[in-house]
Amino acid sequence: MMRKVPSLVDLCVRVAVDNVRYIGNVGETENHLLERILPHCTLDQLKHIEDSTENRDLSPITDKLWKEFYKRQFGDDSINILVERMRQKKVMYKWKQLYEAKLKEREKATQESCDRLRKRYLEVNAKKQSRQVQLCTKVPSSSAKRSYSGGVVANNIYNTKSGLMKKAKIEFINSREVKNIAAMKNKAVQRSHSVSSPVKRVTSSGPSGLPSSSSSSSKLTKPIQRRF
Amino acid sequence: MKKEETVKLISAEGFEFVIDKKAAMVSQTIRNMLTSPGSFAETEHGEVTFPEISTTILEKICQYFYWSLQYASGKETEFHIEPELTLELMMAANYLHT
């Protein structure tokens, strides 16, 4: 009894399918044979074969394969939209090109999202940093403190013999004092939002500072009262 | 082997394979060449040249012919094909209708 002998072509196709990952240049292999083999490729394998096969356009066979890859990756809806668009414009694009274009688009969108996210993180971090206590290398001079407290100011005023000068000086200091107070108050408010203890440390220079600040306040108010 | 019962298959490199006519007839193409009355020069000398088929591939094809006869007569074994030969062998087999 004669059993049907497998043809050599069939045997070869079987081996080719089993080894499709090793196939590169398919040269002049006939279309109908490729039709049997290429559907067994993954996306990367198909791409490799097309890239390796020079001087030959495999798209008569591969176009429908690329369409299938597109569908799997981007969904039926996307495909239907594209098919409709192509029909309206009476253009036919190769599915491989459409796939690669869509992939690029997606990658770009993902990259942009990542960038936005990273920017947000940086912004939040920067905000936190700005509220932190910054270490100064320069210690505020005691004379400056006293000027805030009004000590130096008071000296200047009391040392002046001319009334006009006195008045002028008072006005000047008042304006600066007011500005300083406002500034210091603002900073105190900001800092009180973070840690409270640093605020105390910064605004007062320690136990020695306290009496001066208390005395300063009295001295501070005096000129104003005198003024009015 | 009687001469009348053999054919000579010649590869691109000029290598000559002498095989049984029966084996060669497994290929539809060769069968047509050898049986078609007078249209092929091959029938006179029992020689067929294949300028596009390399020696290695032609050898493998001859092996297939014999394997095919064996298989048809009941002895079913596996015909092993080296992966690196696959594409070329496939194209030759396609051409030879075998």
ipTM at complex level: 0.91
From chain A, the residues in CB contact with B98 under 8 A are 7-9
pLDDT at A92: 82
pLDDT at A163: 78
Instruction: A32-36: list long-range contacts, CB under 8 Å, 24+ apart.
Output: A33/A9, A33/B90, A33/B91, A33/B94, A34/A58, A34/A61, A35/A61
Best residue in A8, A38, A56 for a mutation probing chain B (most B CBs within 10 Å): A8
- Whether residues B90 and A7 touch (CB distance < 8 A) is answered with no
Least CA distance to A29: which residue of chain B?
B91
What is the model's pTM? 0.61
- Residue ranges of chain A with per-residue pLDDT less than 50: 1, 146-147, 149-152, 195-228
From chain A, the residues in CB contact with B81 under 8 A are 11-12, 15
pLDDT at B17: 96
pLDDT at A87: 84
pLDDT at A84: 86
* Dist. CA B93–CA B53, nearest whole Å: 10
- Residue ranges of chain B with per-residue pLDDT less than 50: none
- Whether residues B90 and A29 touch (CB distance < 8 A) is answered with yes
Backbone Cα Rg of chain B: 13
